[in-house]
Amino acid sequence: MPLGTLDRTPPPFFKQGPSALSKLMVCSALALFLMVADARFKITQPVRSAMATVLFPVQWVAMRPVLAVRTVQDYFTTLNTALQNEEAARRKLVLQSQRANQVEELALENAQLRKLLQLRERLNTPTQTAEVLYDAADPYTRRVVIDKGLAQGIDPGSPVIDESGVIGQVTRVHPLISEVTLVTDTEQAIPVINTRTGVRGITYGDAGRYGSGGLELRYMAANADVQPGDLLTTSGVDGVYPPGIPVAKVAKVDRRPDSAFAKIVCNPQALVAGARHVMVLKPLLSQIPPRPAPEDAAPLKKGRK
């Protein structure tokens, strides 16, 4: 085929229309026009509404998994938060309960100490305050252990009282602690006087079967003038207890015809089973001044010169 007959025009594939720059300028101008027109005249609002209406089911379906995941996350987050809040509330409640109990205990101790201080001012006997540590280990006695001993000058036989009356008597002294036999112990006896009649007597401990009894006023005649409600105080004739300290109150008087003595049951005035702070007194005998020394014998007469 002769070369002169060849078609030298470019094929349609390589035909070029407007340049890229021209197309960019036209599109930019169109976009700017549409934005201005939409901002001023809202010409695309119907189109947007129609497209939103058409695409809403698709969006709803597409958001279901996301919402489900968020719901599960929120559920577990809320559950964990609720559990943590509950645990924090429980701890706070326990702490507040402990503080409330401590406040009540401190208030009770404060009231007892105030009463002890008031009682100390009325007594003319040297006193020491002590704290009850624990009950003695012997189940057959009624004793407690206090935190004062020989190092603090506690003497055997010292009376022990609280703000309401006589607790007991120191029966054993160690270097740093002492044992106090309570008034309800069966071996404890205290001379007392009936404040209503002035009649003297002796109370003995009557611990009872379970160690939680009271006192018994023994050796009182069956016709003695003793009535329930009579207050018994220390008489002071034993040389141990100062006079006038409450010991017990008569609870029951049983006058038996087959016995010459009445059975008189008394309740201790002091808080025997729950005392926390007590006061230890010096025995009366230790306060008696010593007997003066005998005078020296008169000098012998001088012999005759």
Q: What is the CATH number of the domain that holds 277?
A: 2.40.10.340
The range of the structural domain enclosing residue 72 comes to: 22-122
The model's pLDDT over 156-188, given as tens digits with 9 standing for 90+, comes to 999 998 888 899 999 999 999 999 999 999 889
Q: Which residues of 8-32 are buried (b: 16+ CB within 10 A; e: fewer)?
A: eeeeeeeeeeeeeeeeeeeeeeeee
- Rounded mean pLDDT of the chain? 80
User: What burial class does residue 104 get, using C-beta atoms within 10 Å of its C-beta: 0-12 exposed, 13-18 middle, 19+ buried?
Assistant: exposed
What average pLDDT score do residues 59-74 get? 84
pTM: 0.57
Phi, psi of 181 (to 5 degrees): -85, 125
User: What is the pLDDT at residue 249?
Assistant: 93
Most confident of 71-85, 102-116, 192-206, 212-226: 192-206
Query: Rounded to whole angstroms, what are the CA distances from 176 to 60, 69, 169, 274?
Result: 84, 71, 17, 22
Based on the fold, state whether residues 281 and 152 are members of the same structural domain.
yes
User: What is the pLDDT at residue 43?
Assistant: 74
Question: Is position 300 within any domain?
Answer: no
- Whether the predicted pLDDT of 208 surpasses 90: no
Question: Is position 293 within any domain?
Answer: no
Question: How far apart (Å, rounded) are the C-alpha atoms in residues 167 and 192?
Answer: 14
Question: Is position 158 within any domain?
Answer: yes
Question: Is position 76 within any domain?
Answer: yes
**In this predicted model, which residue has the larger pLDDT, 264 or 301?**
264
How many H helices and E strands in the chain? Answer: 3, 12
